[in-house]
Structure 1
């Protein structure tokens, strides 16, 4: 039994909620071919594989922030366009494996990090200048981000084959 399975209280609640929304996203892409995962069946530029890739990247970057602040987060470059697309040679299975790897790393970190640890946010137009976030706030952000994209994924999946995860 890992340390995350023994958690109680706030940490357990945060992780259980994040895991639930991760599960919705993974359930939505279950059984798709790589071609279906790369398809853009709506007017949106989003595809299902790209959403899995993006959510994994976002979670990974926020855990870098949680452990080392904005400087750690910004050390890894981000492809603002490509993160939402499946690149040539990427497979849905590979993207799901990466997603699960990142999820496991996050779960282990949240089992040990002080939720009150706070870091100044990176400078970006979407953040309040000079604001800081605690690890707790990062977790709440990851829950919201994952939930939002699971909803996007549900719409895309329904457009591809009529399957609905969340409705």
Structure 2
């Protein structure tokens, strides 16, 4: 039984179950995202198969970075993330590398890093004293005004991001070799 399975079992017996519900949904979204990379080579994971620039390896790498950044935000507040409004074109070009399985990257390596980040996220979700703790969002052109996000909202955002990219990954994989996650 994996740590997430044990956590889910324990969480199902707690009074509210909110954390177990969040973890269960996130665990399922992660599974479907990772499942799209089954039995692929590094070259296949780098292959662009649709009009999009997205690749399977790049999506895993991106979702890993997103999850790491947002959990840092929960723990440290906006200093846990970059000030996107101050980034240069060069910074954004470097930032864009998170969407690519670079020549020195391997699919196995990015999947291992994803597992480590996921474990840290799961531990934070289950140990954080208060899901209502909130921080102002980091400066970014896509955030309006002076918004604050609670840890709960951040976890829901991580779930949404993972689920959205699992859908992208399913299309990319089907375009690659006809394999589907479901159906």
Counterpart of 2:176 in 1: which secondary structure? helix
- Size of the alignment, in residue pairs? 166
Matches of 1:98 and 1:164, distance apart in 2: 24
After TM superposition, which residue ranges in structure 1, 4 or more long, deviate above 2 angstroms? Answer: 1-5, 77-80
Q: Are residues 1:82 and 2:97 paired?
A: yes
Runs (5+) with no aligned partner, structure 1: none
Point out the structure with max Rg over C-alpha. 2
Residue number in structure 2 paired with 1:4:
7
Residue number in structure 2 paired with 1:27:
35
- How high is the TM-score relative to the length of structure 1? 0.94
Q: Within 5 A, what are the aligned runs for 1:17-166?
A: 17-74=25-82, 79-113=94-128, 114-166=130-182
Runs (5+) with no aligned partner, structure 2: 84-90
CA RMSD of aligned residues (A): 1.7
What is the deviation of 1:80?
Answer: 2.6
Residue number in structure 1 paired with 2:87:
none
What is the deviation of 1:68?
Answer: 0.8
- The superposition leaves residues 48-101 of structure 1 with CA deviations (integer Å, 9 ceiling, x where unpaired) of 0000000000000000001110112239x8733111111111100000000000
- The superposition leaves residues 92-134 of structure 1 with CA deviations (integer Å, 9 ceiling, x where unpaired) of 0000000000000000011111201000001111112100000
- How high is the TM-score relative to the length of structure 2? 0.86
